[in-house]
Amino acid sequence: MSLAPKLRAPPPGRPEPPQDLPRRLEALLRLAFPLVSTALVLILSATPSGLPALAFALAMPSIAFWTVFRPAGMAPPMVFVLGLLLDFLTMAPLGVHIIALLALHGAAMRLRFWLARQGFIVVWLCFCVGALGATLLTWGFTALLLLSLPPWPPIFHTLLLATGFYPPIAILLSRAHEAMRRAENAP
């Protein structure tokens, strides 16, 4: 089973589509979709009544997925913006989530070509390792900034949530990615 959308190079010799306004707008929307959808999910998941670890756990699968399969839609500045939003939404010390998400993004970027060819289970396992690294990074920087050891359970819960959320999020996002790919390849 491979949920990873196949990276296919566009057939050579296709004429460049005309750059009229609706098409440009569409391309811009497609470019902004990963950032905007992730930001919306973050805002909705950080409701005051919800789980405090939820927002970070939802951010990691989304960022990892888009980095691997649509890197143009999840460039480092966008990850930075999402991390900043997350820092403001959760009451974490400023910058902690930015570093963690950028590290996750960097790792995914490095392994992107290899990961895109692997099956779903391998990608999931790699994501788990990456999420572990990111949560540990959050914990370490929080400890450094607050000069005290934060409790372990929230980190653990975040990791479990992120691991569990990856498959459904990946299924949803690969549908969206496939749709956008079809639209891009349409003559």
Partner 1 sequence: MIRLSIPLRQVLARLSLPIMIAFAFGVMLLGKADTLLVERMRSTLSDALAPIYAAISQPVNAVEEAVAEIRGLATLRSDNARLREENERLRRWHAAALGLESENALLRRQLGFMPEGAPNFHAARVVADGGGTYARAVLLSIPPQHGIRKGQVALDERGFVGRVTEVGSRSARVLLATDMNSRVPVTLEGSRARAVMAGTNGARPRLAHWPEGVIPQEGERVVTSAQANAFPAGLPVGVVRRNAQGSLEVELFARLDHLEMVRLFDFGLSGILPPEAVARPEPRASRR
Binding site for partner 1 (CB under 8 A): 43-44, 47-49, 75-77, 79-80, 83-84, 87-89, 91, 93-96, 98-99, 102, 105-106, 109, 141, 145
Burial class (CB in 10 A: 0-12, 13-18, 19+), 114: exposed
Cα(151)–Cα(167) distance, integer angstroms: 28
Q: What are phi and psi of 23, to 5 degrees?
A: -65, -40
Shortest gap between Cβ of 167 and partner 1 (angstroms)? 25
Nearer to partner 1, 88 or 156 (CB): 88
Cα(82)–Cα(78) distance, integer angstroms: 6
Shortest gap between Cβ of 155 and partner 1 (angstroms)? 18
Shortest gap between Cβ of 76 and partner 1 (angstroms)? 4
Nearer to partner 1, 22 or 153 (CB): 22
Cα(5)–Cα(163) distance, integer angstroms: 20
Nearer to partner 1, 71 or 167 (CB): 71
Shortest gap between Cβ of 8 and partner 1 (angstroms)? 22
Nearer to partner 1, 39 or 131 (CB): 39
Shortest gap between Cβ of 46 and partner 1 (angstroms)? 8
Nearer to partner 1, 67 or 174 (CB): 67
Under a CB-based contact definition with an 8 Å cutoff, are residues 42 and 87 in contact? no
Under a CB-based contact definition with an 8 Å cutoff, are residues 177 and 69 in contact? yes
DSSP 148: S
Under a CB-based contact definition with an 8 Å cutoff, are residues 132 and 103 in contact? no
